[in-house]
Chain A
Amino acid sequence: MTNNLLTVKDLTMRFGGLLAVNGVDLEVKEKQIVSVIGPNGAGKTTVFNCVSGFYIPTAGSVEFRGKELRGKPGHLIAREGMVRTFQNVRLFKEMTVIENLLVAQHMHAEHNLLKGFFMTPGFRKNEQEMMDRAAHWLERVGLLEFANREAGNLAYGQQRRLEIARCMVTEPKLLMLDEPAAGLNPNETKALDELIVQLRDEQGISILLIEHDMGLVMGISDQIYVVNQGEPLAAGTPAEIQANPDVIKAYLGEE
């Protein structure tokens, strides 16, 4: 057993004849920002889907906080404290911002129907706690004034931030972000950069990040993994990765 939060070993995912991921290893320690980079179609999102239980990997192991999670369904993995965002934002579009955050706290909610019908003090307290937590995170991502807006009516950058807030109200140990900076303007990207660092330093959680914005990745990552055509290409600190000739050839060189 290691003191890693997340240990992925030899992860392989095959779609019919296509080997989308082949033998990828990942390690995320407590309070670390770890990035996965690679050209389009390299298999980054597929790694995420395997780790978070949306695909059952063909081979390999996914150990989270000392528990083997490979093959478990997504909702159970989320309950273990590993939640993710999606490359193409997936909000509950017709629900309000605050409702999005309440739904996300489902696993902390009071599920007893009778208590809910009769609005017992316990139920009210639980609802109030969820509202407070939602308000707290809305303020953190600067969306408090939009609390009763429908999520689908928010601007794109705001939707991205709401998706992060929605993950955070579940109080995760590991937050997985799939290209959170895609489609953001430079100001928004800078704010995102600060937010992610704060999540690590103040909230004490770890972040696993897929990102194409090299400025962002190199600036905040503690560790970087490079994947190319499903194969692991390199791993190391930002400085090591920037100096790695293979990486430059396969990836950075193209930029």
Chain B
Amino acid sequence: MSRVTSAFVAALITLVLGGFLLGMSLTSEGINLVVETSTTGKMTVLFVGVVLVFLLQLFREQVGSFTSKMRSDERMELPSFLRTSQQQRMWTMFVIAGLVLFPFISSRGAVDIATLTLIYVMLGLGLNVVVGLAGLLDLGYVGFYAVGAYSYALLNMYFGVSFWVALPIAGGLAALFGFLLGFPVLRLRGDYLAIVTLGFGEIIRILLNNWTELTGGPNGIARIPKPTFFGLEFNRRPSEEGATTFHDFFGIGYSSEYKVMFLYLMALVLVLITLYVIRRLIRMPIGRAWEALREDEIACRSLGLNPTTIKLGAFTIGASFAGFAGSFFAARQGFISPESFTFIESAIILAIVVLGGMGSQLGVILAAIAMTVLPELAREFDEYRMLLFGLMMVLMMIWRPQGLLPMKRPHLELKRD
């Protein structure tokens, strides 16, 4: 087939598919559905798209050589002011200080988005343990997030357990679920593992959806209390006899902004703890064993490492972070339903890990910011969110298949006498 023909065919396919997807819409007229052709605006977009596909296919080789030039395989070097560990520590302090001050100088909406971003950072970091470090493709991570969220919501609803007591329990329960999932999938790798974990995540969601007596089913659980600040509530009025509110205690006027700020700061603390814990884990025997397992399971066994316990460890510890994040999510939202824990959430968290560069913590943070802040900035493109998401993934695979910031190997100094 000549290049012109193949370009023509590609353009035709775009026209047919796009014509149905963009060019027509269904509107209801009474009880009937009527097919309507779209506005000329959309038609123009479609036409431009078709021409673009035609040209791209026609000049495929030129475009290919251009993108391959764009592709940067070398690792990104750290900028010069971040070379020594002293400088790094100083800048880390600087950034943390900035993050702590952030809610006091920005709008309520921005703080809210930042809190959401922090939740995704935590989820990304947790999944990074399983996927990035241990190399176990887990598509059901959202299941553990759900376990964490429902742990707090249910414990509170039935036993009146407060957030701070429920937080460790939620982490523990999610860890337990991670451990239990670990068992049946011990022998699976790659695609098979992905499918089974995907199923596991769906089972949890469907269970929550159908066990109406316990979980309220699709209606979810509402009025989940917010965390308290050493027992002080952020409500306008105390929720019960004897409780004190934050503004009364400090003798300041009520403002709903305190709550937003507090939630943000709490999420920040949780993320910092997560970062530290995983940073330590990577430098401990268990973290090194995870990576070794990702590299070569047979070599691991030949050196006396038991792949079973290492995998279970990765699933358990990875899931516990989702549990913490989940209970915080429930407390922040005040309302949860199975809707919040669909597969698309798992996909987004996985995208964060992959975009960030498997294994790299800083990469995960950057990717989480990109994945949550960009859609907020591009609100008007909301309809095309998934399209943009796909486009971003494709561009990443062309430009940096290894992720934004691939994991940097720790440099270990040998003391020689």
Contact = CB atoms under 8 A, between A and B. Distances in A.
A221 to B, nearest CB: 23
Interface stretch (B114-122, B136-144, B289-297): B289-297
B187 interface: no
Given A106-B289, A113-B286, A148 B299 contact: no
Given A78-B303, A147-B414, A150-B409, A95 B285 contact: no
Nearest to A90: B299
Interface string B279-322: 01100111011011001101111111111000000000000000
A19 B304 CA distance: 29
Describe B's contact surface by its main secondary structure: helix
B273 to A, nearest CB: 11
A95 B295 contact: yes
Given A96-B412, A131-B412, A73 B285 contact: no
B301 A78 contact: yes
Contact of A92 (B292, B304, B306, B416): B292
Contact of B277 (A103, A117, A148, A166): A117
A207 interface: no
Name the residue in B281, B289, B306, B412 with the highest tally of chain A Cβ atoms < 10 Å from its Cβ. Answer: B412
Interface string A93-115: 11110110011101101110100
Contacts of B379: none
A218 interface: no
Contacts of B410: 96, 99
A103 B288 contact: yes
A91 interface: yes
A98 B412 contact: yes
A116 B416 CA distance: 24
A131 B411 CA distance: 12
Contacts of B295: 91-95
28 contacts: A52-B302, A53-B301, A75-B302, A78-B302, A90-B299, A91-B295, A92-B299, A93-B295, A94-B409, A95-B288, A96-B409, A99-B288, A99-B412, A102-B288, A103-B291, A103-B305, A104-B303, A106-B288, A106-B305, A110-B285, A116-B284, A117-B277, A119-B280, A128-B415, A131-B412, A135-B414, A147-B412, A147-B414
A-B interface, 10 closest residue pairs, ranked by CB to CB distance from nearest: A78-B304, A109-B285, A92-B295, A116-B284, A74-B301, A90-B299, A103-B292, A107-B304, A79-B304, A135-B414
Interface of A: 52-54, 73-76, 78-79, 83-84, 86, 90-96, 98-99, 102-104, 106-107, 109-111, 113, 116-117, 119, 128, 131-132, 134-135, 138, 144, 147-148, 150, 166-167, 170
Given A91-B295, A116-B286, 8 more contacts: A73-B306, A75-B300, A78-B301, A90-B299, A93-B295, A95-B409, A103-B292, A166-B303
